[in-house]
Structure 1
Amino acid sequence: MTIPVPQDIPKWLSRAADPAADTADTLAAARALRRAMAVTSTPRQAAVLVLFGGSPEADPNAPGGLPADAEVLLTQRASTMRQHRGQVAFPGGAVDPGDAGPIDTALREACEETGLDGAGVQPIAVLPKLFVPPSRFDVTPVVAYWRTPSEVRVVDESETERVARVPVAQLLDPANRFLVRSALGYQSPAFQVDGMLVWGLTGGILAGIFRAGGWELEWDHEDVRDLETALAALGMTL
């Protein structure tokens, strides 16, 4: 599914809103391969909201025109959850029968999880689905611009233990970027920021968007760390 990219979104976000932005990412290729190998039944459907905020004016001195106050909304799942416990993720969740499509799902779930006021959110792109083997979900990322930011918070502590507006500049800092590899050989882009490790589906989507938007700074692609060790250093587990 694609939607016309609105003409009035910030120019710095327009390239990142390309629906093909995530398809070039190595994580997307890995997910597609694992799906072809592992899926024997119809996956469940879900959507996540990749919500960027920041000044509408581009910074001519920054890569891709990224403004200094650019931010992205992330959540950390409760450590008591059965699946993906403690992981950092975009707000989102499973499709409900009454949802009109992935945009509706992503916005509804984000509002339920963070108290977000959806009226201030402008969806700008629907990226290709990514399959998540542990939960057997097909996840559709919905990229959006936070035109009118609202207060966000943890709504249900049994599901979410943290809601954070993370500065994009911190995620792009080469000192905070590396790759993680699990004992089973799974590898993904990773970001260490504000006491959190962002990896897996979330890390891969961010890496793809950062590259597509032209925001990246040079970082060490040879820095590959053990996933469990990297999590343990932050008091997190698989």
Structure 2
Amino acid sequence: MSAPQWLDPLLGNLGDVADELRLRGGAVAALQRAKHPRPASVLILFDGDPGASGATPPEDATVLLTQRASALRQHSGQVAFPGGKRDPGDADDVAVALREAWEETGLDPDSVEILAELDPIEVPVSGFRVVPVIGYAARPSEVGVVDPGETALVRRVPLAELIDPAHRFMVRKSFYRGPAFAAGPMLVWGFTGGLVNALIRSAGWERPWNTDDVRPLTDEVRAAAARAATWQENAR
């Protein structure tokens, strides 16, 4: 099956996604880049009505995100696309993304149609060179937390939440400043926030939002924790 029509604008502008991500962080980020970055991949998995026409995602369109467990030493509590470092047994970047997604969320790799791979993007803070792999699931498999010691939450986030200007702002911490999203119980920022921002902009899905709304990252982390507590209480 080919990609649904509403993903065509994104797939036709993948170069714009890569260009925007390369420019993120400016000179400071360039100085931080590792001399020998480790290869890794992430899976950007969309689902939603395969028959929806037009360039706008349908109401049921989502993208799969995970939240790392709070007890982890590195990047604890941060939201990310499923993914991780390449292992010796992985055949290629797609294999990495699908394996990691299966390990983290229980995703059935056979439910995923691979649509594209982006050029590798360096992530200085972690020392990885990450290949984003874009996929689509016409019939999404069940997903959930596989290992609570590694992952706190797995969620198919509605694209409408990420596109909504009311859920968008900038966050800052020290020299860092970048786009962020309040997606239900999740705070999406950092590399993942930049990637989501680039995807939405390149696809033409972006709606005007207040880029002058710059908030301390620590405040938004606390706000997300409060939303998550309410989310969990309502889920009981």
TM over 0.5: yes
Which AA in structure 1 matches 2:110? A
Shift of 1:235: 2.6
Tell me the CA shift for residue 133 of structure 1.
Answer: 2.1
State the match for 1:48 in structure 2: 42
Q: 1:117 aligns with which of 95, 108, 111?
A: 108
Which of the residues 146, 165, 178 maps onto 1:174? 165
Aligned to 1:178, the other structure's residue is in SS state: strand
Unmatched tracts of structure 1, length 5 or more: 1-6
Task: Name structure 2 gaps, 5 residues minimum.
Answer: 227-236
Cα 1:117–1:32 change in 2 (3 A) is farther
Q: Which of 45, 52, 61 is residue 58 of structure 1 equivalent to?
A: 52
Distance 2:207 2:80 in 1: 23
CA–CA separation in structure 1 for the residues paired with 2:154 and 2:73: 19
The alignment of Structure 1 onto Structure 2 pairs a total of residues equal to: 225
1:234 deviates by 2.2
Q: Tell me, yes or no, if structure 1 residue 223 matches structure 2 residue 213.
A: yes
In the other structure, the counterpart of 2:14 is 19
Note the C-alpha offset of 1:12: 1.0
Cα displacement string for residues 139-175 of structure 1 (whole angstroms, at most 9, x for unaligned residues): 1111111122010010011110110011100111111
Q: Secondary structure, in 3 states, of the residue corresponding to 1:56? A: coil
Alignment of 1:48-197 (within 5 A): 48-60=42-54, 64-182=55-173, 184-197=174-187
- Tell me which stretches of 4 or more aligned residues in structure 1 moved more than 3 Å: 31-36
Contact persistence 2:94–2:133 (CA under 8 A): yes
What is the identity, as a one-letter code, of the residue corresponding to 1:118?
P
The residue type paired with residue 218 of structure 1 is P
Q: Give 1:156's aligned amino acid.
A: D
Give the C-alpha shift of residue 40 in structure 1.
5.0
Provide the residue aligned with 1:234 in structure 2.
224
TM-score normalised by L of structure 2: 0.89
Structure-1 separation of matches of 2:206 and 2:109: 29
- Distance (whole Å) between structure 1 residues aligned to residue 207 and residue 93 of structure 2: 31
Partner of 2:233: none
**Distance across 2 between alignment mates of 1:222 and 1:31:** 17
Give 3-state SS (helix, strand or coil) of 1:233's partner: helix
SS at match of 2:45: strand
> How big is the shift at 1:233?
2.0
- How far the C-alpha of 1:219 sits from its partner, in A, is 1.1
User: What is the rounded CA distance, in whole Å, between the counterparts of 1:162 and 1:78 in structure 2?
Assistant: 8
- Cα shift readout 1:95-137 (whole Å, capped 9, x = no counterpart): 0111121111001100111000110101111112222222211
For 1:4, the equivalent position in structure 2 comes to none
**Contact 2:32 2:125 survives alignment (8 Å):** no
- Tell me the C-alpha RMSD between the 2 structures: 1.8
Whole-angstrom CA distance in 2 between matches of 1:172 and 1:204: 13
Task: Report the residue type matching 1:217 in the other structure.
Answer: R
Corresponding residue to 1:198 among 171, 178, 188: 188
Return closer, same or farther for 1:223/1:32 CA change in 2, 3 Å cut-off.
closer
> 2:33 & 2:164 partners in 1: Cα distance?
36
- Does residue 9 of structure 1 match 2:7? no
TM-score, length of structure 1 as denominator length: 0.88
